[in-house]
Amino acid sequence: MPKVSVYNMTNEKVGDLELSEEIFNVEMNEKRAGLIHQVVVMQLASRRLGTHATKTRSMVRGGGRKPWRQKGTGRARAGSRRSPLWRSGGTVFGPHPRSYAFTMPRKQRRLALKCVLSDKVKNGDLIVLDKLDFDTPKTKQFVKLLNDFNIEKKALFITSEPKENVQRSANNIQGVKTIGALGLNVYDMLNHDKLFLTKDAVAKIEEVFA
């Protein structure tokens, strides 16, 4: 079983923790890397608004009268100024409001998540904290925590449950995000260099995803 050190909020080691083999020690291969990519695409697709729109010929203003008579002018036949062939006419097969979201089997989503967690452990980018909480929302306290751990890049903090004081303390810090254990997802983990989990969050993840 993979074993990691447990630190307090001032980067002092306070113990060790054995992680679940099933979640934090999953082998990565080319097929599973493709699965992770597919999960990321799914997450990003669900975030697309899909509010783009174009007008078809039925939506364009005007065009109620035939521009000129059918025969005898020497010009091509025309029935409406709203024709897609005309300038300012309707658009053929243009985009319309839609949802880009699609789903994947839960087993595949969970396997991708386990692969990313295992990769973080293998590369030493997963840090376990004994706890993470503040009495009041204070950005300065969160900045001190980052400085104690020498964090200069993007970091994701995961607690067992969303904590308001922690979230509000990190809101104004660029590159830092806090989520609850049930909100854990592949995209956020890949989008941050360091992953911080509290002991309670590890227990919650092992309980839910085992």
- Residue 210 has, within 13 A of its CA and on its CB side, a CA count of 9
How does residue 80 score in pLDDT terms, banded at 50, 70 and 90? very high
Q: Got the DSSP string for 131-171?
A: ----SS--HHHHHHHHHHTT--S-EEEEESS--HHHHHHHT
Distance CA 133, CA 33 (A): 34
* Residue from 20, 16, 15 nearest 2 by CA: 20
Spatial contact of 201 and 163, defined as CB atoms under 8 Å apart: no
Average pLDDT of the residues of the chain: 93
User: pLDDT at position 135, please?
Assistant: 86
Distance CA 131, CA 14 (A): 11
Give pLDDT tens digits for 44-74: 999 999 999 999 999 999 888 999 999 999 9
User: pLDDT at position 185, please?
Assistant: 94
Give pLDDT tens digits for 119-165: 999 999 999 999 998 888 989 999 999 999 999 889 999 999 988 99
Q: What angle do CA 144, 155, 42 make, to 5 degrees?
A: 155
CA 16 to chain centre: 30
